Structure 1
């Protein structure tokens, strides 16, 4: 038998047998330590208590050994405020007060600070074997239990392994590989201990995080159980020609049974094969990554379908009718469109409408337009007639001349005595005889009258049926910038601003502001105050802006402590170039009967020296730049 060991007691074995028979768990609650009665001894299975118990407390932990499931490990920490005795034995107790196991422990002294001069926490771990470890239950009082360092580290590692964010891998394999030995993956020679992401194994259940080994590979400890491999698992890839510096995540949904469920990993961020640069057209994957780019130079390249092609536009331009200046067009509205003026006989400026002025050439001027103006034709209430231009239908006309309305002449005659008994249409009869002969007598003398209004619409003019429109003339070509109308309006503003002229001006630089010689630039408030400093106190200074040469005034008060030695008064601010002058005056107390004196010495950028009556308060003022 080993020198130090743990035994299940006979009472403990009986308790365990009874628990198995009843189907209830074995409940362990406490551990006790003893000094063996003052000496080391060999515990026996017949023991029901320790030889001499010196301390008892709750178990910290009870768990199975990772390599031997039938072994149980019990842990306890004895606090530093108890002790002053040796530990030679220990016992594990059930919740019913039975000594379940007894431990022969290496003789160790447990000091206590109050009597031993030092104190420490005492940690005991006991290993014992049971026939069915799964039946053993640890009852813990959370208010007194303490965690061991090993347990904490193990617990942290286990919990961290369950997080979705995993430790980075060296490389990621996007093709099927053999899970054995060192090899080349994505241009990198991996060696034992390297972490690798497998994302495209033939059997997708084998995808995941693996550790390279000289023999068979094993899954990484942070991804070797179903609880640690969860949907959304993410991992960074450090190296690799194709997958280096990329981020991958697990897209498989729960539930996941590691080693059974097919795992799908996809690149969330990283290299997509598209070169760095500026692109006008991009192809984007489901994660918003640009996977392809192009710089098309045609509408078709951009996939634009709601416009004309280049050839179609060129054809429309070639066949389009651009109305020249001077074209007269009828519009059925009261407002002329942009680029047109109403033919209203008004006077216009030749400067505003130079093209139209040139085209009309003063043809409609009456002589009262004034210098630089021209007159428009008057189309209000007029029909427009094509110029005869030598045809002979309306000969003798000058283009642009007005013509009054006329009626083609109608002629006819009556001769002799008329024997008219009836009249109709445009004609009417009247009795011209002085006798009382009835009108129906054939030999009566009658008068005949013609009146067209009796059978037709008549008015004061001869006209066809018509529609009233506004006759307008094309005045300029640009639909937005109306000839040079805008340019003329801006011409004055485009010149250099001066005291008597509006215009534009540049902002002065600080150098121009300081020089004060350029009258064609303007100064901003920031440049006006550049370099200005001011300290408002009994000892202070005022530094004028840089455009005033940085002229500086400083002042202060100084108490003289000696009348026999020179004393230095330092300026609160060193003059940048030179101290030009300084004065100092002595204070005196009214009614004291005495007046002090001040004598000044050396003056420089940093200060000056004075000598004065002892205890005299001196006020001084200095100027410089």
Structure 2
């Protein structure tokens, strides 16, 4: 047997047996100490009292050992104002006064200040074993019991561990973690002793607060029992790329059995991945945290469903317009209002007027409009007529076709011998006869003239009274098109264009093109070729464009008529100002043994004179302007 031990007394065992049989708890209330009668001895189970009791007081604590559930630990603190004796034995007493257990205690002196010159609190812990520790109940008189510092600290740690608020952890895992050894978690290298929140384990029962170790990890002491892991458990995370400076809580409802119940943790506060800024639209989670943000620019982006889209509004405006695209309207001034184009047979860009281009569909095109263009109908000087469309009044015509002017035919006849003396209105007399009329023996006219200008206004065409107007066609719905022009997008092109900068530029006049001094205007192909002429033949010319000063080159060939007289050679094209220079050369026939000569005479803008060997051909070249 050990030197120091605890025994259940026979009376204590009998008491325990009776309590078990009756189904009532064992109630321990007091602990006593004795000096063993002045010497150390070995207690026996037959004892019913201490050999010599020197002090008795209430138990401070009675609890199970953490490693051995059959062991009970009894604690008491003897106050400093009692003592002056040795402690060699202790006893545990039931509420009925039975010595339940007796302890052989290491001999220790308990001083008292009054007689020993020193005083101290004397702490006694006794360990004894019972068959069923759960039956043992401690009865405490709170007005008498005094707790030890160790007990208080242990008790506080135990009770604090049951609170929902836990000591912060260094990091919180973002994925499943193998709970063994130091490692990298959320960008942080954790080492032995670090606290870690695991919330993404493959088996959710393994989630919780853990302590990093060089071997297998263990649960943190404030969250290692079911009583300490309660719904609403909260913990702060100190570091980490994703979860640093965040607050998490346990959302699993009771009852919770640690190691069995799946534990779910959710973030109460912290980083949600949304960047700092101002947002028009937010996505908020169940805790009121913004988890996403956007700045939509459309009604659909804001989730508004009871409104029209931009395209629908434009379609409604187009339908509601009094004049849809393609309508022909007359205006009394020479400036069409916004949205209209004059019907002048001109060519327009389909990109600029897409609605009108789609409406006309190229009906009036002639084939020379070029890609991406369409032609307007011609209405200048014309009356408009409603399309027959099957009525039968003006049949056989295509919609939009042109019709020349005509006059409805007027017919009539005269029959027999005419003797006419008078005529009026549009009629006149002609062919006066010398013979007397048998009717009245007077000279009579035998001819009738018809001239409408005698009684009506006449001209080269048949027309009603009218007012000169300008016929225009609706090209676009101005309220829509004007409202959607993004001027800001064109601002970069509003500056003067140059070789290095995009922008706008004026079209140069022909005079500016010819001068060649203005570098801020652009030249059209027509002005680039203005004045250019070219005759491709044996006798021909090339007149350079006017912006090159009208420089002209002419050439030709002639046959010599006489070698003794000047021969006049005219230029195919008279030089505009003057001939500057000319040359001529005689043809040479290989093997002939002779070479002809040629000499130039007078030179002017119309031609030149020349004399050369008879029988030779001469080629010439002249330049001028």
TM-score category (smaller protein): 0.3 to 0.5
TM-score normalized with structure 2 length: 0.47
TM-score normalized with structure 1 length: 0.47
Of the two, which has the highest radius of gyration?
Answer: 2
